[in-house]
Amino acid sequence: MDRFSEIEALDRENVAHSYGRFPVAIEKGKNAVCWDFDGKRYIDFTSGIGVNSLGFCDDGWQKAVTAQLSKLQHISNLYYTEPCARLAKTLCERTGMKKVFFANGGAEANEGAIKAARKYSFDKYGEGRSKILTLKNSFHGRTVTTLSATGQDVFHNFFFPFTEGFEFLTAGDLDELKAHADGACALMIELIQGEGGVVPVDEWYVRAAAKFCQEKDILLIVDEVQTGIGRTGKLFCFEQYGITPDIVTAAKGIGGGLPLAAVLFGEKTEGVFAPGQHATTFGGNPVCCAGALEVLDRLDDGFLADVAEKGGYLRDKILKMPHVRSVSGMGLMIGIELETAVKSADVVRAGLKTGVLLLTAKEKVRLLPPLTITSGEMDEGLEALAKALRAG
């Protein structure tokens, strides 16, 4: 049996099949290139769903992580560690937020944000002001509560009873927001809906909603699990909109490939949790934080300007490709709308043959390349993408 077949059989027999898989096993990678067990080469336009910000096995990142790994891998949040404290300081300095809570993934970060919003409102107004407004077509995670927060019916099945207190709004409809404001403690939004199909939310609406929420003391939670950490060409996407959120969540790309998430609290919410009210065993793990410190260190203004430029380059080339109707997104978060006869899943499958890893988001093909992708890697990936489009 070849290596792939062996791995595939082990997985099929032993891993719970709660998600789909492509018939490929990746063995190793460097920056935006990776290889499967047959030595076939792929350009990675996925970065592990927006996770490997600095690509595969970046030298500086590897050094930072292994240096920490050889000193202390974990101690629990009962004690102070240097990477955790330094990372929190860096995040606060670079965002203007006031405090950070570290978690392990996007859903858990959003759970923390939801708890914080409800506690803020409970402390100030008492019971009965616990409703959280989110947008239709959003995605906020897979726990029971973040499924409730997700504004898509397909996610509200099987796992009853769901957490109460979520209402879904149409993006762009300010009157609807106003009509649902009574009893609400927070509005939680993605600025570009990622899983929903790389759909940007209108800037005027975001600004008007932020202003309205501020007037009503409704907290604005921005879910930057996918849009954060340089993805759109700014450290956080909220900077593109000129708004000041009360809570920001980050995950995916923050650790450069290690599981880490953060809830950033602004002035109103920085003191909302007292000791014992919120925690998680692995939160602020020193190895993950050391990786994140390297990621943030590299994402300076010049690097972020390059991300925006690379995004523009990819967009221009993709717009000229066969079967492409439009391109959405910002920076290196790209959604490709196809002619209706062409299915995004078929294009992704064809990409595996032509040598490029791609994602879907609803009917679109989605690209989330590593932020460090080189122009040579982009051109190689674009060529394979064009071939996949012709085949798909």
Ligand X SMILES: *Cc1c(COP(=O)(O)O)cnc(C)c1O
Binding residues for ligand X, per CB under 6 A? 105-107, 110, 139-141, 190, 194-195, 223, 225-226, 251-252
CB 302 within 8 A of CB 93: no
Task: Output 46 or 226, the one with its CB closest to ligand X.
Answer: 226
Q: Shortest approach of ligand X to residue 208 CB, angstroms?
A: 22
**Is the torsion defined by CA of 272, 273, 279, 282 positive or negative?**
positive
Q: Shortest approach of ligand X to residue 11 CB, angstroms?
A: 20
CA angle at residue 117 from 112 to 119, to 5 degrees?
95
Q: Shortest approach of ligand X to residue 179 CB, angstroms?
A: 25
Up-side HSE of residue 178: CA atoms within 13 Å toward CB? 9
- Write the CB contacts of 109 (distance below 8 Å, at least 6 apart in sequence): 103, 225, 249, 250, 251, 261, 262, 263
Q: Shortest approach of ligand X to residue 353 CB, angstroms?
A: 27
Task: Output 194 or 370, the one with its CB closest to ligand X.
Answer: 194
Task: Output 43 or 225, the one with its CB closest to ligand X.
Answer: 225
Task: Output 139 or 238, the one with its CB closest to ligand X.
Answer: 139
Task: Output 45 or 392, the one with its CB closest to ligand X.
Answer: 45
Q: Shortest approach of ligand X to residue 38 CB, angstroms?
A: 29
Q: Which helix (H) or strand (E) holds 298?
A: helix 286-298
Q: Shortest approach of ligand X to residue 25 CB, angstroms?
A: 21
CB 268 within 8 A of CB 186: no
Q: Shortest approach of ligand X to residue 59 CB, angstroms?
A: 26
Distance, in Å, from the CA atom of 111 to the CA atom of 130, rounded to the nearest integer, reads 14
Closest CA to 385 of 71, 128, 11, 43: 43
Say how many residues make up the chain.
392
Task: Output 129 or 140, the one with its CB closest to ligand X.
Answer: 140
The residue with its CB nearest to ligand X is 106
Task: Output 51 or 213, the one with its CB closest to ligand X.
Answer: 51
Residue appearing with tokens 């793990």: 285
Task: Count the neighbouring beta carbons within 10 Å of the beta carbon of residue 386.
Answer: 19
